[in-house]
Amino acid sequence: MTGFKDFFRRLCKNRLTVVCLILFVLIVLAVIFADFIAPYGWDDQNIRDRYLAPSAEHLCGTDNYGRDIFSRILYGGRMSLEIGLISAVVTTVIGAVIGATSAYFGGKFDNVVMRVLDVFMAMPPILLAIAIAATLGTGMLNTMLAVIIAGIPMKARVARGPVLALRNQEFVEAATASNSSTAKIIFKHIIPNIMAPLIVQTTLSISSSIVSVAGLSFLGLGVQPPEPEWGAMLSAGRSYLRDYPWMVIAPGIAMLLTLFSLNIVGDGVRDALDPKLRD
């Protein structure tokens, strides 16, 4: 527990990090309690109130169906954050397992795994995601799956390095020499030691997962309207940009704020956990 306290103290050293942490927590709370905060439902249409500019009644204005954009942003944020968090965790965990096992067993097995990863990584991740999304079809689950598969190779690579280094370290060698089982070594010695980089990786990839999903939705390959996903909202607002810019700018800024605070917090977590920067 002192470890966590220590971590938190280091995290709070930077003022910008603290501000962004608070901002992010507020965003998370807002989207979790969207049902109570949102003044309207995400699909409440009102033909008479179409294209309304932002006002006290509609904080971010209304769209071409007369839906309240602020409410849609809240519900859309829930979706985006959910997708981002789940895909970041799943990607990192699967990637770490592949990378760690590969590095741990080494030799031919490692070689084959790395060559396969090379092939995956020869494609820019977003292209890979587009190809997979095109095959799987649209919808939240398929989109997440595409983003996850496209992200795994990179994570495996990242996890492989530290394990490779750990494997040759004395305490692991000692454990091997004293006949500890492979599983025990992996769970007792390897995993605790790569936890820090894994947590950092997960934090940093939440935002990239959100962007990837939103990007796919923007291209029409991801979450489909009328679902209020941010990328899909931007895509839908495109045609009305000239006259009703809030349809694009409001969800865009929501996204920017979320990603900005996430990235700063991610950086903060990395600095706080990075043993290299510890004094």
Within 13 Å and on the Cβ side, how many CA atoms surround 27?
A: 24
Under the phi-then-psi rule, with left for phi > 0, alpha for psi from -120 to 50, and beta for the rest, what region is 50? beta
Candidates 12, 37, 112, 134; binder of another protein (CB under 8 A) is 134
Candidates 69, 249, 272, 273; binder of another protein (CB under 8 A) is 249
Contact 109, 102 (CB under 8 A): yes
Map residues 94-133 to x or -, x wherever contact with another protein holds by CB under 8 A: ---------------------xx-xxx-xxxxxx--xxx-
Instruction: Kindly indicate which of the ranges 24-32, 38-46, 69-77, 219-227 contains the residues binding another protein, using the contact rule CB under 8 A.
Output: 219-227
Give least dist CB 24 to another protein, A. 12
Other beta carbons within 10 angstroms of residue 278's beta carbon come to 10
248 lies in the site for another protein, by CB under 8 A: yes
For residue 277, the one-letter residue type is: L
147 lies in the site for another protein, by CB under 8 A: no
Exposure letters 215-250 (e unless 16+ CB within 10 A, then b): bbbbeebbbeeebbbbbbbbbbbeeeeeebebbbbb
User: Can you tell me the distance from the alpha carbon of 133 to that of 136, in angstroms, rounded to the nearest whole number?
Assistant: 5
201 lies in the site for another protein, by CB under 8 A: no
- DSSP lists the bridge partners of residue 62 as 68
Instruction: Kindly indicate which of the ranges 35-43, 91-99, 134-142, 156-164 contains the residues binding another protein, using the contact rule CB under 8 A.
Output: 134-142
Binding residues vs another protein (CB under 8 A): 115-116, 118-120, 122-127, 130-132, 134-135, 137, 207, 211, 214-215, 218-221, 231, 234-235, 238, 241-242, 245, 248-249, 252, 255-256, 259-260, 262-264
